[in-house]
Structure 1
């Protein structure tokens, strides 16, 4: 018994010493080394999604399974379903991919064993190829489920040939084109627009700082260029000239000084109740940015279709934008009605935010779209890519890994 007591006298102090050391090294809840706020994005498991979309929790979750993507974004994949159905009885062949014209902005690539490879390229259009390849690669690397092997071509020009390839926009008759999120979802550095997430942070930060609906400017805002001679933009300037409800100006009509004086940041755009949307050479890459604002997007009838165009609603309880005639002839009447019916205008603005900013234009939605595209393309194709080709009697890997290409930005270089 005495021996046991002696052992306890030795063991208990040792245990207390160990416990005290643990308490010492464990960060104190109020320790200054601990973060003072939760980061916008935290590593998440796909199991954190419970089937009901919650913006604050789910917007940056890149780990959703396809089943969870379907629950989170039930209306996102309409154009992919259209494209897939059109090829149900006429699968995409390797010959079709071979026949896609390699015009400026062309990339041919494949996904093989969960790795993106660039096989060929032609020319370059600013940073667009890099942005789109980066977005595809992110969708692959974050996928919680294996993705099929596919081979495909895409072009980053504003208007692509009606062929079996991927593009940012199409006309109704371009039925062979499969739509993808445009390069600006990654970043658009040429116009000093960061990623969608950065723009979102700026806009939501301005709202938290007091940018409420009642304080917004009660005018229609538009800023843009006329350098390509767009008739529809010239017409907008004409019908809004000297109108008390319009703040519509060209950034290039009076030279560089006008650009500096009249340029508006995205939070400054969002400080207006009404935002004019115009197509340019084809679609407008600016539309997704306008849809980040709690404002009423006022658009002429659109000729060009983007991957989320089908989500636009011009009437009804879910109306999320206002549509006017393509020549803007009824714009003044619509603007007078909106300014007179402020509660209705605010409802449209709220619907715009709920549909686009807080759901279908999130990073979570984007990666879900890319992964569904890969799956639907595989279903519609009658071949799988060959990883090797033969050169001088030897097997040679086709293409470069995306990681290598994104670093070198070339298919070949001197060592």
Structure 2
């Protein structure tokens, strides 16, 4: 190309008159978003969807209504939330640029308001249907004001009719006997394992613990208290396993005890809940945690062409295959960057597999195109966050699973890798040789996480699980000897008045 022709092309591009793409350019890279055509939607625009951090989406579109597919700039949209009858609003707002033409807006309320007006602005112009009015009362996370009707709450939350994993887990039970379980489960598991025995009665939570290591009960307490502030739970009695490994190993022909666990396996029959890690990230979003399903979406590293075409992994030595992964990395450093940040299980092998490397910010993982997901003591609980990025997940075949694994499809949402990692190098090479297909799978995995693993979905899963489990009970749940009431946290600074008629306690 002559220098004169190149100069003309650059001039036409700068004037916006030349619409054909040069290699590597994007048509929307010179397009500005339109306030009238931009789309705004999501649960955070509905007063009855009470979440620790509410959220909604903004999709930038140009004047012809075409969605932008690259970021128009982090500061493109401004969001203001005001309560007309309040002088001050105690609301923390973040506008997260997802770098694909869309934005995730999240906000955490620290008080309850009569009405809220949400202003979404583009260069001082209202976007789409802005201002969006949430007719009050609009309750904050700490407000104890449960919706009496579970079906109404589910409708407000847009919960699905069912979750296939819940149906699978509960299908083996024709009935559940709280009286028998209260005797048999502590005898069978209570000496060697750490358990919580919960009863929910009249929407109050009671608990008794068994075993030495019961610190993780705080996660279960927290989600139960949060749910009972939002919706009236059915009366129920159940046991939660506080350890990593699922417990119920009996065959279906034997007497199976219902044990709720954060992880399932092909060799056990525990009832699976969202992991404590994912649960806490939902409850503490915009609170004390920094890694959650929303923050990841704004920190996905450089665009796909700018990512390092290496498979990346960091972690601790909690499984033999992780040692093998580090060996592979040393033998093939151009394909795999894997190293330990901590030695705990195989300390005597540190000289073989060390030295330890410094921790890498999780957000920096996404500087790499390929993410290796490999089991730890059980399933690696980072998978939801890896999917939410825009790297390709190479997932080890595993006998362990989280509550959503059975909805994932190999070669659609991730690339499968043999349990012994014997084909890992081959799969990395495939991804390098099929870059567009690899990118498509990465984006499908990201879309799955956005659709199924956000906070509203996690609350729906817990509620549906408890609702369906409660239906199986054949004797009345009871507050047993030794149980203590789990108190709701006090909110003296920002108390709220509940407008709903409470069902009278019968205690």
Same fold (TM over 0.5): yes
Q: Is 1:248 matched up with 2:338?
A: yes
| Greater C-alpha radius of gyration | 1
Contact persistence 1:73–1:359 (CA under 8 A): no
Counterpart position of 1:324: 417
Q: Is 1:133 matched up with 2:193?
A: no
Runs (4+) off by over 4 Å: 31-39, 42-45, 61-64, 71-75, 193-198
Compared CA separation, residues 242 and 153, structure 1 to 2 (3 A): same
Contact persistence 2:296–2:385 (CA under 8 A): no
Q: Distance in 1 between matches of 2:220 and 2:306?
A: 38
2:486 pairs, out of 376, 394, 401, with 401
Q: Distance in 2 between matches of 1:112 and 1:41?
A: 32
2:212 pairs, out of 110, 120, 123, with 123
Q: 1:53-84 deviations in whole A, cap 9, x for unaligned?
A: xxxx9xxx998833465x55467x21211122
Counterpart position of 2:45: none
Counterpart position of 1:336: 429
Q: Is 1:41 matched up with 2:107?
A: yes
1:289 pairs, out of 364, 374, 385, with 385
Q: Is 1:364 matched up with 2:459?
A: no
Q: Distance in 2 between matches of 1:72 and 1:106?
A: 29
Contact persistence 2:195–2:211 (CA under 8 A): yes
Compared CA separation, residues 171 and 240, structure 1 to 2 (3 A): same
Q: Distance in 1 between matches of 2:211 and 2:297?
A: 39
Q: Is 1:148 matched up with 2:234?
A: yes
Q: Distance in 2 between matches of 1:379 and 1:233?
A: 42
Q: 1:354-400 deviations in whole A, cap 9, x for unaligned?
A: 101x12111101111111111111011112222476xxxxxxx9422
For residue 86 of structure 1, give the secondary structure of its aligned residue in structure 2.
coil
CA apart distance, 1:41 = 3.0
Structure 1: which 5+ runs fail to align?
A: 1-25, 46-56, 390-396, 406-415
Contact persistence 1:266–1:289 (CA under 8 A): no
Q: Is 1:234 matched up with 2:323?
A: yes
CA apart distance, 1:304 = 0.7
Q: Distance in 2 between matches of 1:172 and 1:203?
A: 30
Contact persistence 1:166–1:178 (CA under 8 A): yes
Deviates more, 1:127-136 or 1:152-161: 127-136
Q: Distance in 1 between matches of 2:90 and 2:247?
A: 54
Question: Greater relative contact order: 1 or 2 (C-alpha under 8 angstroms, separation 6 or more)?
Answer: 1
Deviates more, 1:379-388 or 1:164-173: 379-388
CA apart distance, 1:345 = 1.0
CA apart distance, 1:117 = 1.6
For residue 425 of structure 2, give the secondary structure of its aligned residue in structure 1.
helix
Compared CA separation, residues 123 and 403, structure 1 to 2 (3 A): farther
Q: 1:108-153 deviations in whole A, cap 9, x for unaligned?
A: 111111121213343225x52212220222122222xx32100111
Within a 5 Å distance, the mapping from 1:20-59 to structure 2 comes to 40-41=106-107
TM-score, structure 1 length as denominator? 0.71
Q: 1:23-56 deviations in whole A, cap 9, x for unaligned?
A: xxx999xx999989676136799xxxxxxxxxxx
Q: 1:161-212 deviations in whole A, cap 9, x for unaligned?
A: 203110011222322x111111112448xxxx987774344423334xx732
Counterpart position of 2:21: none
Within a 5 Å distance, the mapping from 1:263-302 to structure 2 comes to 263-302=359-398
TM-score, structure 2 length as denominator? 0.59
For residue 451 of structure 2, give the secondary structure of its aligned residue in structure 1.
helix
Counterpart position of 2:198: 109
For residue 40 of structure 1, give the secondary structure of its aligned residue in structure 2.
strand
Compared CA separation, residues 404 and 246, structure 1 to 2 (3 A): same
Structure 2: which 5+ runs fail to align?
A: 1-81, 95-104, 114-131, 133-139, 142-146, 249-256, 344-349, 491-507
Q: Distance in 1 between matches of 2:415 and 2:445?
A: 10
CA apart distance, 1:323 = 0.4
Compared CA separation, residues 72 and 186, structure 1 to 2 (3 A): closer
- Give the strand-richer structure, 1 or 2: 2
Compared CA separation, residues 204 and 93, structure 1 to 2 (3 A): closer
Q: Distance in 2 between matches of 1:34 and 1:96?
A: 46
- Give the helix-richer structure, 1 or 2: 1
**Could you say what the CA RMSD is over the residues aligned between the two structures, in angstroms?**
3.6
Contact persistence 1:312–1:320 (CA under 8 A): yes
For residue 342 of structure 2, give the secondary structure of its aligned residue in structure 1.
coil
